[in-house]
Amino acid sequence: MSYMETNFRERADVWLNGAFDDDSKNEINRMLNENLKELEDSFYKNLEFGTGGLRGVMGVGTNRVNRYTVGMATQGLSNYIKSVYKGKDCPAVAVSYDSRNNSREFAGITASVFAANGFRVYMCDDIRPTPVLSFAIRHYKCMAGVMITASHNPPEYNGYKVYWEDGAQITSPHDANIIAEVEKISDISQVLFSSESSEIHLIGKELDDAYLKSVLTLTLLPDSIKRETGLKIVYTPLHGTGVKIVPRALREAGFKNIINVPAQDVSDGNFPTVKSPNPEESSALQMALDRADKTDADLVMATDPDADRLGIAVRDGRGRMKLLNGNQMASILSYYILERWRECGKLKEDVNPHYYMVKTIVTTDLLKSMAEAYGVEMIDVLTGFKYIAEVVRIYEGKREFICGGEESYGFNIGEFVRDKDAVIAAVMVAEAAAWAAARGLTLYELLIEIYLKFGFYKERLLSVTKRGKDGSEQIRDLMKSLRESPLQKLGESEVVLIHDYQKSESVDMISDLRFKINLPKSNVLQFVSADNSIVSVRPSGTEPKIKYYFGVKETLESKEDFEKVDKILDAKLMQMVSQLEAL
């Protein structure tokens, strides 16, 4: 018997002989008798409390999300918060949860452990979006917060996202310090599971009202224009938290013609009408697209289960519904906001050093070209919206944040929410559509206008799933191989620049000069070719996947050339995708 097999069996024996519930013990015995591979995956390691919290498959075991791993994580987090805020009177935290299976139970355990550790807990009385949790932390002057969600992952997943007092997900040094405290909790006997319920305060309508009042301060378009366009919007929450607040936000912002998808308004952690509740995937929006065609709607919107990501579809030049990717949505929103700020006299024509925008390193460089044209600084950060929020925290009270986006359908405007916010994004997409309509354009035509002005950028994402322990090893080996034997070409174009964020080093392949990357270390590789094509490679931080991000660019001289140039870019992308798929 190997060491690894002994190790996972020993971990399982601890549960079988410890103070764990009978259902968990019965499940362990089932795996022992029927499926040792499943037992190994469940117990071969502790579920890692990463830099954002926990995320994994629900079930019995040390490598699963369950009441015990959630309780141990909360105890470690409680210990850390108290060590940072020693002597603080009435320490407070906020807790929310989405519609996933067991989310309510895990949120209750989280709140109970916090309360048992002496915290005043503000807990949402029902499912709420992640951005509302971020808002609640600042609104109730909390020291931290926890959101129980696995975002857009498949139904078997759940997670535990940790936020700090600024309403943003934890970053350095808190992330590493919290991980260290959580790792000290080696046994459930160290967890204070019971508490006085009087320390748990349910929050609901007052929070929603305050949040939506802040959202409405961001609107940039007169109500008269919204009324004139009569925009018809199909919206689906994909069985998630958006059902409680996105339609209300749109209506209060002035958009009255909201068409729902009744079967997907049902909050259900099994996500019965979709293969995956991910607005990045076209199949997830199919019911909404069908509804749009039946009702002759102008726009389709979909939010993921915790309503921090927004997917949209618009009418193309032939009147067909076309899904836009996260880069295209971010480009439309950034252009709309910059143009409206300019029209309102907030931006000068040349340089605007007080204002800034933020994007992640795998997000389209079209945003950077746009920012430069408006004299606004664009700041690049590592993948993850927490890094965008970190920049906002650094500049708070010193400079003004315009907006920030990432290719994975995340966007935000303003500073009262410190994470991506699909509620805010939905309101602003509707405004952008109404603004375009007032100019005689659809959002699709507005996108072509952007390409004419700033360059035709096109991107594609390839995600390769590698599950379990074997999958983790395969992903590690792939990254190692790409470092040892870097790509020489992207399609037909020679690679001229390599960025290795793990080594914090950029290498000019022509001159062999090396330059330091002034960002935290991260397991990301980027290859840039002579024709400005780019491929970024990174393991996902939230799913068992390795991700490849492809980007190409051409000049678009006229709107009549759009389809021709679009095909040229597609051919380049397909060649690059095939190249990486062969690895």
* Collapsed DSSP state (helix, strand, coil) of residue 531: coil
On whether both 345 and 485 belong to a single domain, the answer is: no
The confidence band for 2, taking pLDDT boundaries of 50, 70 and 90, is: very low
On whether both 271 and 319 belong to a single domain, the answer is: yes
Mean pLDDT rounded to a whole number for the chain: 94
Q: Catalytic positions, please?
A: 151
The confidence band for 55, taking pLDDT boundaries of 50, 70 and 90, is: very high
pLDDT on residue 544: 80
Residue 374 belongs to some domain of the structure: yes
Residue 209 belongs to some domain of the structure: no
Q: Is the pLDDT of residue 187 over 60?
A: yes
Weakest-pLDDT range from 104-118, 219-233, 278-292: 219-233
On whether both 174 and 268 belong to a single domain, the answer is: no
Task: Give me the percent of the chain exceeding a pLDDT of 90.
Answer: 87
CA distance 219 to 265: 26
**The amino acid at 147:** M
What's the pLDDT tens digit per position in 80-89?
Answer: 999 999 877 7
Residue 34 belongs to some domain of the structure: yes
What's the pLDDT tens digit per position in 451-477?
Answer: 999 999 999 999 998 877 788 889 999
Q: Is the pLDDT of residue 334 over 60?
A: yes
* Collapsed DSSP state (helix, strand, coil) of residue 235: strand
Residue 131 belongs to some domain of the structure: yes
Of the candidates 354, 358, 577, the residue with the CA atom closest to the CA atom of residue 460: 577
pLDDT on residue 6: 54
On whether both 436 and 509 belong to a single domain, the answer is: no
More confidently predicted of 540 and 402? 402
Give the residue from 427, 454, 481 where a domain finishes.
Answer: 454
The residues, ordered by sequence, that sit 6+ positions from 145 with a Cβ below 8 Å of its Cβ are: 93, 94, 95, 96, 133, 134, 136, 137, 162, 163, 167
CATH code for the domain of 366: 3.40.120.10
CATH code for the domain of 564: 3.30.310
Over range 502-511, report the average pLDDT: 96
Check: CB of residue 193 under 8 Å from CB of residue 403.
no
Residue 369 belongs to some domain of the structure: yes
pLDDT on residue 3: 37
pLDDT on residue 4: 43
Residue 215 belongs to some domain of the structure: no
Residue 502 belongs to some domain of the structure: yes
Of the candidates 542, 554, 503, the residue with the CA atom closest to the CA atom of residue 524: 503
On whether both 296 and 389 belong to a single domain, the answer is: yes
On whether both 40 and 57 belong to a single domain, the answer is: no
pLDDT on residue 226: 87
Burial label for 197, CB within 10 Å (0-12, 13-18, 19+), is exposed
On whether both 75 and 172 belong to a single domain, the answer is: yes
On whether both 403 and 494 belong to a single domain, the answer is: no
Q: Is the pLDDT of residue 106 over 90?
A: yes
Please state, as a whole number, how many other Cβ atoms lie within 10 Å of the Cβ of residue 187: 11
Check: CB of residue 546 under 8 Å from CB of residue 539.
yes
On whether both 383 and 490 belong to a single domain, the answer is: no
More confidently predicted of 305 and 5? 305
Give the residue from 178, 203, 228 where a domain finishes.
Answer: 203
DSSP H or E segment with residue 144:
strand 144-148
Weakest-pLDDT range from 342-351, 358-367, 414-423: 342-351
- Please name every residue paired with 16 in a beta bridge, in sequence order, or none if there are none: none
Residue 214 belongs to some domain of the structure: no
Over range 267-288, report the average pLDDT: 95
On whether both 197 and 111 belong to a single domain, the answer is: yes
On whether both 226 and 151 belong to a single domain, the answer is: no
* Collapsed DSSP state (helix, strand, coil) of residue 58: strand
The confidence band for 376, taking pLDDT boundaries of 50, 70 and 90, is: very high
What are the b/e assignments for 491-504, b being 16+ CB within 10 Å? bebebbbbbbbeee
Residue range(s) defining the domain that contains residue 20: 1-44
The confidence band for 540, taking pLDDT boundaries of 50, 70 and 90, is: confident
Query: What's the total number of domains in the chain?
Result: 4
What's the pLDDT tens digit per position in 199-232?
Answer: 899 999 999 999 999 999 999 999 888 888 889 9
On whether both 290 and 245 belong to a single domain, the answer is: yes
The sheet with strand 233-236 has its strands ordered as 258-260, 233-236, 299-303, 310-315, 321-324
Over range 149-158, report the average pLDDT: 93
